[in-house]
Amino acid sequence: MGVPFIDIKRFEEGFLDEWKEKVAALSLNAQFIGGAEVANLEKSLSEYTETKYTVACANGTDAIQLALRAVGVSKNDKVLLPDSTFWATFESVVNVGALPYTIDTNPVDMQMDFSQFEKAVEEVKPKAAIIVHLYGWGSSRIEDYRELCKKKNIILIEDGAQCFGVKYKGSPLYKNSTIATTSFYPAKVLGAAGDGGAVFANDETLANKVRCLANHGRTSHYGHGLVGWNSRMDSLQAAFVNLSLKRFDKRLESRISIANKYQEDFKKIGVNVINPPSDYTENGYCNVTLFDNQKRTALETILKEKGIGFANIYPGAMSDQEGSKEHLQKKFSTGEAGKIASTVLNFPLFPYMTDIEYNEVLGIVTNFQSGKN
């Protein structure tokens, strides 16, 4: 029996009917841009994330660029970011004309390494930094990052594309950020029916600037106070995310229970499975294990034969990407990001994955660990 790496078609009963009704109603009224769905979504997201202001936008990459622009990062400003992340984080820095510096990864929590970050802060004196909350949790040093940046006048942007639903000390991780972003790419924990994203902020001026930039820098319909672009979320995407948000607690519960099972069972069979740091309640975005590179190749061959989906998130650090060569200013590294890239292996995890599917994966990995397949 095969098991997909991710299956995002497992909607709750009644979900697709409600969605069809929504599409029909919005189409009938030709309500495609803005309107109540977007306004309601922003309100619900602020309630959920415990941030004062939410601006919905076109995608998670735009959300980072909007945040960078809103805090005033522009040409030749220095920005620190993790070497382990999705390319969008790196791209965003370059797209606003700023200069990227990458920071190595901490192999324990798999997030940006705080000691390398401190070193870079002293040497580079950056205007801003982006921390990425990767894999469905965040850094064990998150409070140190926030404090250090405040002390040194560095604007800290939090790329939370993967951390919707994550709690830190019982509160949403976004809550105490200066400015944070997320993505509603369909495979994210809270996904849209296409692309979508959001920026969260607690400062009204900052939120207004994000909103203005995301709508052609408008001050009135044909008045433009800033050069922005069109990064509006459309009403259909907002409607889909609103419907998903109503079911979000159930989806989250399902993801977390599977993530927990992997953590318990894999540990028992000697797999190096990564647990979130204490103080975090993860969102079950991802299962993360590390295998010796040769062993990983052998296991991947078996997984392919048996039809079990898997991923390597991420197979290359930012500093190793061809596209980073002409932009990267310096990498602060002891080689951990590269090591993780060559050893990381992620197993299937998605809402409503069945026990049969989970046991199939576990059985194959158990046999592999004991040399039986």
Ligand X SMILES: Cc1ncc(COP(=O)(O)O)c(C=O)c1O
Which whole-number Å values give the CA distances from 98 to 74, 79, 211, 252, 348, in the listed order?
A: 6, 7, 21, 36, 37
By CB under 6 A, residue 59 contacts ligand X: yes
CB of 314 to ligand X, least distance (A): 9
Helix (H, G, I), strand (E, B) or coil at 205: helix
Size of the site for ligand X (CB under 6 A): 15
CB of 66 to ligand X, least distance (A): 12
By CB under 6 A, residue 89 contacts ligand X: yes
Question: Using CA atoms, how far apart are residues 11 and 246, in angstroms rounded to an integer?
Answer: 12
By CB under 6 A, residue 185 contacts ligand X: yes
User: What length is written for the chain?
Assistant: 373
Contact of 275 with 266, CB cutoff 8 Å: no
Figure out which of the listed residues 86, 114, 168, 358 binds ligand X, where binding follows CB under 6 A.
86
DSSP assigned state of 198 = E
Figure out which of the listed residues 88, 157, 241, 353 binds ligand X, where binding follows CB under 6 A.
88
Figure out which of the listed residues 46, 49, 116, 162 binds ligand X, where binding follows CB under 6 A.
162
CB of 132 to ligand X, least distance (A): 5
x/- letters, 115..134, toward ligand X (CB under 6 A): -----------------x--
What single-letter amino acid sits at 90? F
Q: Which is nearer to ligand X, 84 or 366 (CB)?
A: 84
Contact of 52 with 205, CB cutoff 8 Å: no
Q: Kindly state the tokens that stand for 9.
A: 């078609």
CB of 337 to ligand X, least distance (A): 14
CB of 371 to ligand X, least distance (A): 35
Contact of 148 with 121, CB cutoff 8 Å: yes
CB of 287 to ligand X, least distance (A): 16
CB of 274 to ligand X, least distance (A): 17
Q: In degrees rounded to 5, what are phi and psi of residue 340?
A: -65, -45
Which residue's entry shows tokens 């046991």? Answer: 359
CB of 357 to ligand X, least distance (A): 24
Which residue's entry shows tokens 């010796």? Answer: 292
Q: Which is nearer to ligand X, 59 or 202 (CB)?
A: 59
Nearest to 230 by CA among 84, 67, 98, 57: 57
Q: Report the site for ligand X in 269-308 (rule: CB under 6 A).
A: none
Q: Which is nearer to ligand X, 54 or 59 (CB)?
A: 59
By CB under 6 A, residue 309 contacts ligand X: no
Question: Using CA atoms, how far apart are residues 328 and 119, in angstroms rounded to an integer?
Answer: 17
Figure out which of the listed residues 49, 51, 61, 231 binds ligand X, where binding follows CB under 6 A.
61
Question: Using CA atoms, how far apart are residues 253 and 183, in angstroms rounded to an integer?
Answer: 20
Element (DSSP H or E) covering residue 223:
strand 223-224
By CB under 6 A, residue 202 contacts ligand X: no
By CB under 6 A, residue 183 contacts ligand X: yes
CB of 159 to ligand X, least distance (A): 5
3-state helix, strand, coil in the chain (%, to 5): 40, 15, 40
Task: Tell me the residue nearest to ligand X as measured from the CB.
Answer: 60
Phi-psi region of 135 (alpha: psi -120 to 50; beta: other; left: phi over 0): left
By CB under 6 A, residue 105 contacts ligand X: no
Among 84-92, 286-294, 346-354, 365-373, the segment contacting ligand X (CB under 6 A): 84-92
Question: Using CA atoms, how far apart are residues 100 and 16, in angstroms rounded to an integer?
Answer: 43
Among 94-102, 154-162, 234-242, 322-330, the segment contacting ligand X (CB under 6 A): 154-162
Question: Using CA atoms, how far apart are residues 136 and 369, in angstroms rounded to an integer?
Answer: 26
By CB under 6 A, residue 195 contacts ligand X: yes
Contact of 82 with 162, CB cutoff 8 Å: no
Figure out which of the listed residues 51, 65, 85, 235 binds ligand X, where binding follows CB under 6 A.
85
Among 59-67, 204-212, 279-287, 334-342, the segment contacting ligand X (CB under 6 A): 59-67
Binding footprint of ligand X on the chain (CB under 6 A): 59-61, 85-86, 88-89, 132, 159, 161-162, 183, 185, 195, 197
